[in-house]
Amino acid sequence: MFRNYLKIAVRNLLRHKGFSFINIAGLTLGLTACLLIGLFVRDEKQFDQFIPQGDQIFRIYNVRTSQEGAENNAGTPPMFATTLQQEYPEVAETLRILRIPSKDLFEANAKKLYEEGGIAPDSTFFNFFPLTFTYGTPLQALDDPASMVLSQKMAERFFGPENPVGKTILFNKEAFTIKGVFQSNPKFHLAINFIVPLASQQIPKERMTRWTWQQFYSYVKLKKGVDAQAIETKFQSLVKEKVHPILKEGGSTYLPYFQPLKQVHLYSADFKFDLLTIKGNHTYVNALSLVAVFILLIACFNFVNLATAKSLQRAKEVGVRKAIGASRRQLMEQFIGETLLLTFISVVVSGILTLFALPGLNEFTGKQITFNFFTQPQWLLFLGALTGVVGILAGFYPALVLSGFQPVKVLKGTVVTDSVPGQIPWLRHGLVVVQFALSVLLIISALVVSNQVEYLHQKDLGFNREEIMFFPMRGDHLNQNYEAFKNELLQLPGVSAVSIGYGFPGDMFAGDEILVPRNGENTAVAVTQLLIDHDYVKTLGLDVIAGRDFSKQIKSDATAAYMINETAVASLGLGTPQKALGQPLLWQTWANPDSLKKGKIIGVVKDFHYKSLYDKVEPAVLQIYPDAYWKVAVKIKTAGIDHTIGRVKEVWNRFSPEYPLEFNFLNENFNQMYQADDKLQSLLSLFTLVTIFVACLGLFGLAAFAAERRRKEVGIRKVLGASVKEIAFLLSKEFIKLVGVALVVASPVAWYFMEKWLQDFAYRITLSWEVFVTAGLLALFIAGITVGFQAVKAATVNPVDSLRSE
């Protein structure tokens, strides 16, 4: 029986080549897209699954509340971990990690290379995250302040394949002993290249006991069976006692929360100052999963529509089989078997296409996803199950319709249709509407994402970011003679301005408090500190809207003057920019925490975006503070950029010959901020095209069968004088109406989801009717071309050929 079913199925596929091609092509594309998305989603959800006792580990983060609202901050004070370890018996261990922010110079075996991705954690790091060691052991690897652990890739760059344990490597000219080499795990949420002990950073004890210095990433491991919610609540109460009296007068407070380790990768997309974590986005993962389901459903709907539409061609076959004794169950088994064969072919082809497409996906996403039938036999089981599920899902209803024909009517020559005469075939029309509603939904989403991404890249940020060369200061000689270095750069004909400071747009910032005298008391207000020199405003082209810029001619500007941005005027309660001028501010300096820098506001700059457009512009205070200088910004003239860069390198080599110059451009910093959005745009556009193509394949097939079913009607109309244009419109209008209904259905759904997505951006486009009109016209055009081809083809057939049998 099975052999007979298989033989009939193969014959039927070969006999109806067009039908077979459309279904196989649609299913293959749909399954390939689903497999690729599924592989990506599976990889995203595997982060940190390898860590033992991972359900007992939590990352601590802060929810900061201010007048602007609430935001999640990954940075925490060092006292969080200290207090939890010392005062909470439910806690097994704690861990603090300090990120090493810049690229640092490493020297070994006559090689000088800059490396990034460094951290300085507590010695409990490997108790939390037991990474696999190639050489050495994690035991006591971080006990000595002069010890270091390297990733395998970094170790190979300096020492090749040999064991480097016990050897010395220079880290910014300081000697460290290598204690181990670990293997980087692509499913670990921390991107680490090297590890040095926290003790090596020589942080003053006073800073390590502060509750408001939020520079650490903190983790806590609870004892087995402990209720994390209960500990979180108790700890929040303690933080309220310690911190809120200090901060509440400044208009902002924060509370700690415990984030389960296995949620860190996917549920931290909106976290601020989270520069250490490899961040995914659960919203994007869920959206891609929905897209995969959409594509698969559309491919299945295609099969249902085409199979029921062509049921007329198999009516007599069903009648004959029933007349000679075939049961309805047997017929259903046969037709579902045909669907399974078609699905099997599609799954095999899609598996092959996935193997070829996967390297491109890995390169695009920066992942190491594998899909191998030999080393991962579970994929064969998955594909087999997929064949069964899709085959039955797509084939059940057509089999039910085909097996239900009555043999008496069929064999008497009575016309058999898959719908009641005079009534609308609701199922077929409904499936077409759903197909194109999903397509329109994706078209609108792709257009909105594309417009928002373009807005991110094109919006005026309030400063000039073009042709600004950007690099850190390195070496004692350069740090001690930065003014001379700056003056030599200014002598170069291709350089128009130079600034040195800490807090350039797109780079690192200092979040600290500024003190505002009010009613005889100093009120602390959280602000962003931009620690700059006299030429910062000039180099970036900031707009001074009140007062003046810093001046070298006025000596007090270096020690007793502040500038603020517009947002700070409101946050500090100073009224208007003009009223803010001359108002006093105080700051507890970093060099001497016991001293206060007293000064007055001399100028207000127009708000500029020193962070990404996901973040609102925050209150910022600009001040001269040479102790914090570490980055140089060189404004280069457009003409002869390459020559000027060469001259800058010459000046650098005179001041810091032991350090190679490594630089980038300021606009590159902002482009990197939106890489995830750029990739989302590309992926959404690609899968939207796939969805539209699969939907159009089905529409193409339906139009062909509709034209065939009305062949004689078309012939009669042509004989009676109907034009090709009139007949083409007659055959097309039904499908165009369905696409119009799909647009009406999809538009409010698309508006809802896109409006929610745009809420993640502090600065965003406004959803306008033009996007929906564009999507509708595009969908109608695509459908019109698809259906119109078949309609025109049918309308141009010689009526003699259509009516000859009459």
Least confident of 521-535, 553-567, 597-611: 521-535
C-beta separation of 106 from 171 below 8 A: yes
CA pair distance 133, 135, nearest whole angstrom: 5
Is the pLDDT assigned to residue 538 strictly greater than 90?
yes
Angle at 757 between CA 755 and CA 762, to 5 degrees: 90
Beta pairing partners, 148: 178
The pLDDT of residue 415: 47
Share of the chain above pLDDT 70, in %: 84
Beta strands, E only, 385-467: none
Of 801 and 117, more confident: 117
Of 448 and 594, more confident: 448
Of 404 and 732, more confident: 732
Cα dihedral angle (777, 783, 786, 788), rounded to 10 degrees?
-80
Instruction: Return the DSSP state at 143.
Output: S
CA pair distance 479, 432, nearest whole angstrom: 69
CA pair distance 288, 676, nearest whole angstrom: 14
CA 551 to chain centre: 43
Residue range 593-602: mean pLDDT, rounded: 85
Residue range 90-103: mean pLDDT, rounded: 92
Question: Who contacts 219 (Cβ-Cβ below 8 Å, separation ≥6)?
Answer: 57, 58, 59, 60, 81, 94, 95, 97, 128, 261
The pLDDT of residue 420: 45
Rounded to whole angstroms, what are the CA distances from 303 to 210, 326, 709, 736, 779? 66, 24, 18, 20, 21
Closest CA to 646 of 495, 539, 477: 495
Is the pLDDT assigned to residue 230 strictly greater than 70?
yes
C-beta separation of 539 from 462 below 8 A: no
The 10s digit of each residue's pLDDT in 181-210 is: 999 998 999 989 999 999 998 888 888 888
Query: Whole-number mean pLDDT of the chain?
Result: 84
**Range with the largest mean pLDDT of 117-121, 392-396, 520-524, 732-736:** 117-121
Residue range 394-400: mean pLDDT, rounded: 67
Residue range 520-535: mean pLDDT, rounded: 88
Instruction: List helix spans (H) across 710-768.
Output: 711-719, 724-758
Residue range 403-431: mean pLDDT, rounded: 56
Q: How would residue 423 be classed by pLDDT, with cut points 50, 70 and 90?
A: very low
Is the pLDDT assigned to residue 408 strictly greater than 70?
no
Question: Who contacts 324 (Cβ-Cβ below 8 Å, separation ≥6)?
Answer: none
CA pair distance 144, 200, nearest whole angstrom: 8
Is the pLDDT assigned to residue 7 strictly greater than 80?
no
Is the pLDDT assigned to residue 615 strictly greater than 90?
no
Q: How would residue 529 be classed by pLDDT, with cut points 50, 70 and 90?
A: very high
CA 116 to chain centre: 22
- The backbone region for 753, taken as left when phi is positive above 0, alpha when psi lies in -120 to 50, beta otherwise, is alpha
C-beta separation of 560 from 576 below 8 A: no
Question: Who contacts 301 (Cβ-Cβ below 8 Å, separation ≥6)?
Answer: 431, 432, 434, 435, 698
CA pair distance 12, 334, nearest whole angstrom: 11
The pLDDT of residue 293: 84
Share of the chain above pLDDT 90, in %: 36
Residue range 587-598: mean pLDDT, rounded: 80
C-beta separation of 259 from 267 below 8 A: yes
The pLDDT of residue 363: 87
Least confident of 22-26, 314-318, 406-410, 620-624: 406-410
CA pair distance 582, 142, nearest whole angstrom: 51
Residue range 172-177: mean pLDDT, rounded: 92
C-beta separation of 138 from 130 below 8 A: yes
Cβ neighbours of 300 (radius 10 Å): 24
CA pair distance 402, 284, nearest whole angstrom: 41
pTM of the prediction? 0.79
Question: Who contacts 125 (Cβ-Cβ below 8 Å, separation ≥6)?
Answer: 95, 97, 142, 195
Beta pairing partners, 525: 514
The pLDDT of residue 419: 47
The 10s digit of each residue's pLDDT in 302-311 is: 777 666 665 5
Residue range 667-685: mean pLDDT, rounded: 81
**Range with the largest mean pLDDT of 52-61, 266-275, 361-370:** 52-61
Residue range 116-137: mean pLDDT, rounded: 94
CA 206 to chain centre: 39
Residue range 78-89: mean pLDDT, rounded: 93
The pLDDT of residue 430: 76
Is the pLDDT assigned to residue 613 strictly greater than 80?
yes
Is the pLDDT assigned to residue 392 strictly greater than 70?
yes
